[in-house]
Amino acid sequence: PRALQKKVVEQEAAKLTKQKDHASPPPPLVIQPPEDYDGVGVEYHTGRSLGKGGFAICYEGKHHGKHGVQTYALKIVKASMAAKKMEEKFRTELQIHAKMRHPHIVEFHKAFTFKACTYIVLELCPNGSIQDMVRARLGLSLPEIRRLVVQLCGAIKYMHSRNVIHRDLKMGNLFLDHEMNVKIGDFGLAAVLVSPGEYQGSYTTALSRRTTLCGTPNYIAPEILDKTKGGHDLKVDIWALGCIIYAMLCCRPPFQAGSSNEIYEKAKALDYHWPKRDPDSKKVRTHIPAEVKDLVAGLLQPNPDNRLSLDDTVSHPFFNMHGGDHIPAVLDPSCKDTAPSWL
């Protein structure tokens, strides 16, 4: 009963936080980056709200530049929120994200302060996140998953080749651009690996920062939980990729549980199950082909050294089922809430 009571209290607190969010005032209609402002209209005009994360609010921002009107995502953080942990997240985000340039990573344009808020100007991803898409669709089709995962692997390979570990890959941090291409975002927990076990960018462990900043860590790799092993490396992103593929299919993460500790225990014991086949299930997919189970098993290897590499991932038989012609070249934005007509 005590656990139940705690849950009720947590739920009520979450509701209250949501109410407060609704009450938070909208940003100024016009935002001027001070260092650029020369009186000739380099400002951003704020538009619709795009969403709220753990510590930031995002709005659309229109910029009337030399090449006509361009629309961006403006990520806004109140300076008063800059407690030590937030500051660290923010600094990491600025330092690491600003250096990333890849077609499947949200483009970072600039950061500045204006009227006691810090603004990050990002590439706009108007179709929400993969998390929104999976929730609306109750799971995605195999061809869609192939397309999204191939793009995602390209971006992770790029990050890893620059020794950047994202450390918070999850469906809510995978955004969709106007053509439904994946864009990795939110580099707030990223780190640069200087040599095995040694990072630049953050000195606190990913685990403690994650739990204080991001809530339930559903995609956490088992080696992060093992304090005796010290650090963790690029392979934590590969574990997260396995969790993402499972969740895209089944609409829930593989080690989902009521508390963080239960999730940790399940991840350590590799305690995940595929849904039982049910031909009558109209909601979630229950027929999971052996190829995708094998791919996820190759990614969710407890020993990081045994996990598939990114090259092995994209050349896995899952991507070559039916002769390899099952990777759609384009995806219509309607797919974010309705199954594609060609299925």
Sole window of 16-24, 122-130, 219-227, 327-335 interacting with ligand ADP (rule: CB under 6 A)? 122-130
The answer to whether 168 is a known catalytic residue is: yes
Residue 289, amino acid: P
Could you tell me where the DSSP H helices lie in 202-289? Answer: 206-214, 222-225, 235-250, 260-268
Residue 185 engages ligand ADP in binding (rule: CB under 6 A): yes
Tell which one of 55, 114, 158, 239 touches ligand ADP (CB under 6 A).
Answer: 55
Q: Which is nearer to ligand ADP, 78 or 293 (CB)?
A: 78
Q: How far, in Å, are 5, 10, 75, 171, 217 from residue 259 at the CA level? A: 14, 12, 30, 19, 9
The most distant pair of C-alpha atoms in the chain lies apart, rounded to whole Å, by 65
Decide: 207 and 227 in contact? Cβ < 8 Å: no
Q: Which residue in 50, 142, 206, 250 binds ligand ADP (CB under 6 A)? A: 50
Decide: is 58 part of the binding site for ligand ADP (CB under 6 A).
Answer: yes
| Interface with ligand ADP (CB under 6 A), residue from 54, 65, 230, 289 | 54
Query: Which residue of 43, 88, 144, 186 would you call a contact of ligand ADP, by CB under 6 A?
Result: 186
Q: Residue from 45, 52, 252, 326 that binds ligand ADP (CB under 6 A)?
A: 52
How is residue 294 written in tokens?
A: 């094998």
Residue 51 or 275: the one with the smaller Cβ distance to ligand ADP is 51
Query: What six digits make up the tokens of 133?
Result: 């898409």
Q: Which of 105, 125, 250, 335 touches ligand ADP by CB under 6 A?
A: 125
> Which H or E run contains 341?
none
Could you give phi then psi for residue 264, rounded to 5 degrees?
-60, -45
CA distance 199 to 156: 18
Site track for ligand ADP across 82-121, x = CB under 6 A = ------------------------x---------------
* 318 vs 105: CA distance, rounded Å: 24
Binding site for ligand ADP (CB under 6 A): 50-56, 58, 73, 75, 106, 122-125, 175, 185-186, 188
Which residues have a catalytic role annotated?
A: 168
